[in-house]
Amino acid sequence: MIKTLGALILLLLSPAVAQELPPLPPDPMGLIQEARALAPEFSADILLRLEGSRAIADSAWKRRLIEDAFKAGGRAELPYRKAGEETTDARASRAYWDNGLEALTLQTRAVEAMLELDSQRARAMFEEISKPQVPALSCRETGAPNLSAYYQTAAKIFARAFTAEQREKIEHIQFLKRLIGQMESPAHVTPTVRLIFTAAMTSDERQELVSDFAGMLWRISGSARIFGSASFQLVPVSAPPRLPPGVRAAAPMLESEPGQLPPQVVATAPTLLPALRAYIVRHVSGPRCNEDIRPNQLPTPVSDFNYLVSAFDPAASTYKPISQDEAKPANNAGTYERHTWWQSDRSKQVLDALKWLNHGNRNLPGEARFFTLEERQTEEWNSHFVDALRLVEGWKQSEESAPEDWFGMVSEAYQLLAEKAPPGRQREAAMTRYLNVMETYYASTSHNLWFTQLKGQWRSKDPWIVEQLSTSANPVMSVYARLNKLIAE
């Protein structure tokens, strides 16, 4: 009896029962119900998009959607943004495309949405996010982490989620001190620098945080791949680019007048510079990835550090710049294997065919223009279209090095064919094939790569394209397309 009574009390206190939500129109309600049944990253993304749209005006519903998205987002396939290959048309680049579907991105998006409704709850949610764990990737691997979302949201929490009473108790400073104390990798270090030096606080508070940061910096070491990807804007003030005399340099990370250092950097330099110098030298003098070795050129963090030192201490009487010898890598640790698309014989033929359909492969000056709709209705253009469609239809997976490469290029080819074909039978044929590839390979492809190949189709302003996606057998495409229609209304 006691257990039953306790369970009843808990049930009555649960959000679903304690606050009965008002009814919604059928369209948004249907999307919410369907979104909850999708894979976590798609579910969270759709719920957040709905919450931020005009379709959801009730604050109780907004809170519910944010909470649900936060929970679902934490189960996303990718833990955080990752760096892919250098070219955009490559397997890893497409698999790590910035679609906003990573667990860290989705949860921080939910926190920021909640910040508009309830700052105290937003802070509690942020504290629930697991600290991003960073593996020691080798130079032969891609996927270096980008944790900027975590620290950018932390900056907003710091600025907006502490009451006057909490600030009086310096809880906001303790919040940042906890983040600094959690640093374990260069991927944590670089965004923490920006957070410390851009957040509004007193000089004494910043000095205390810099002391904690410097203390942590002495013990942090990361692999060459992780450091190389996290070295941009590691130093609080970036060296200005070399520009012609009289041309103002691009603004550094912290705003300041040309030739002057921001006062918050000057005030903390005695604490920051020794630790920062040792941290940089420790990494640049160790193994370095091939793409981060530039003959006769210092690494970016070294150049930035030396600029900072020269501006702060021109005579180098107290702080010495990092020398060429100190910045010499211990060895070349190699690089990753490229998986660039459009390299096989078949893919090159398809690419040439797509180029012709786009602009006729005209390279002469004055002829570099796209075919008009009228030109794309000619017999010549239609003949080329049929040839291109056949090329793609005969494309076998065995012609590519991996199924993901084949899927990515084939889906892209069909999508481009559907976009270029004038309204009618040919366009419908290309779209049917595109939808079939997307529906067939959804279950065997990483969610982010698959969604990358969906590209902006679901957000198209072409009602015909949106309608094709709306009726797709794949629930993700269908829900996104109907979401597009709802938000556009």
- Distance between CA atoms of residues 314 and 207, nearest Å: 23
* Number of domains comprising the chain: 3
The two structure tokens encoding residue 24: 């919604």
CB 373 within 8 A of CB 440: no
CA dihedral sign of residues 53, 59, 61, 66: positive
The two structure tokens encoding residue 171: 């809880």
Q: What is the mean pLDDT of the chain?
A: 90
pLDDT digits (tens, 9 = 90+) for 244-294: 554 444 445 555 554 578 889 989 999 999 999 999 999 999 999 999 999
* 242 has a pLDDT exceeding 70: no
**Domain edge (last residue) among 324, 340, 356:** 340
- Distance between CA atoms of residues 16 and 13, nearest Å: 8
Average pLDDT value for residue range 185-205: 96
Short-list 110, 117, 95, 98, CA closest to 49: 110
Average pLDDT value for residue range 26-50: 97
In eight-state DSSP terms, residue 288 is: B
Whether residue 290 sits in one domain with residue 156 = yes
Is residue 11 assigned to a domain?
no
What is the pLDDT at residue 489? 72
Whether residue 289 sits in one domain with residue 187 = yes
Whether residue 314 sits in one domain with residue 214 = yes
Give the long-range contacts of residues 171-174, CB within 8 A, separation 24 or more: 173/201, 173/205, 173/208, 173/209
Is residue 19 assigned to a domain?
no
CB 62 within 8 A of CB 72: no
* 19 has a pLDDT exceeding 70: no
The two structure tokens encoding residue 302: 């070294």
For 193, phi then psi, to 5°, come to -60, -50
Whether residue 279 sits in one domain with residue 216 = yes
What is the pLDDT at residue 139? 96
pTM for the full predicted model: 0.90
Close Cβ partners of 436 (under 8 Å, ≥ 6 residues apart) = none
Greater confidence (342 vs 238) lies with 342
* 147 has a pLDDT exceeding 90: yes
- Distance between CA atoms of residues 489 and 484, nearest Å: 9
Is residue 15 assigned to a domain?
no
Whether residue 147 sits in one domain with residue 238 = yes
What is the pLDDT at residue 346? 97
Confidence of residue 15 (pLDDT cuts 50, 70, 90): very low
CB 459 within 8 A of CB 484: yes
Confidence of residue 7 (pLDDT cuts 50, 70, 90): very low
Side chain identity, residue 50: L
CB 442 within 8 A of CB 474: yes
Whether residue 361 sits in one domain with residue 333 = no
What is the pLDDT at residue 232? 87
Q: What is the DSSP string of 76-136?
A: -SSSSEE---SSSSBHHHHHT---S-SHHHHHHHHHHHHHTT-HHHHHHHHHHSPPPP---
Whether residue 109 sits in one domain with residue 171 = no
431 SS3 class = helix
What is the pLDDT at residue 388? 97
Domain that holds residue 318: 142-340
Average pLDDT value for residue range 166-188: 97
Q: What distances in angstroms separate CA 110 from CA 18, 106, 133, 399, 474, one per listed residue?
A: 22, 6, 20, 42, 26
H, E, C per residue of 299-338:
CHHHHHHHHHHHHHCCCCCCCCCCCCCCCCCCCECCCCCC
Whether residue 183 sits in one domain with residue 52 = no
CA dihedral sign of residues 409, 412, 417, 418: positive
Q: Maximum CA pair distance of the chain?
A: 87
* 197 has a pLDDT exceeding 90: yes
Can you name the residues that pair with 232 across neighbouring β-strands? none
Is residue 63 assigned to a domain?
yes
Whether residue 228 sits in one domain with residue 156 = yes
pLDDT digits (tens, 9 = 90+) for 67-96: 999 999 999 999 999 999 989 999 999 999
What is the pLDDT at residue 240? 75
For 81, phi then psi, to 5°, come to -55, 140
Is residue 481 assigned to a domain?
no
Tokens 């923490």 belong to which residue?
Answer: 192
Q: What distances in angstroms separate CA 45 from CA 72, 404, 443, 479, one per listed residue?
A: 9, 24, 19, 11
Can you name the residues that pair with 56 across neighbouring β-strands? none
Close Cβ partners of 215 (under 8 Å, ≥ 6 residues apart) = 275
**Domain edge (last residue) among 282, 312, 340:** 340
**Domain edge (last residue) among 130, 150, 179:** 130
- Distance between CA atoms of residues 472 and 460, nearest Å: 15
Confidence of residue 334 (pLDDT cuts 50, 70, 90): very high
pLDDT digits (tens, 9 = 90+) for 353-384: 999 998 876 654 555 678 889 989 999 999 99
Span between the terminal Cα atoms of the chain, in Å: 52
Whether residue 190 sits in one domain with residue 293 = yes
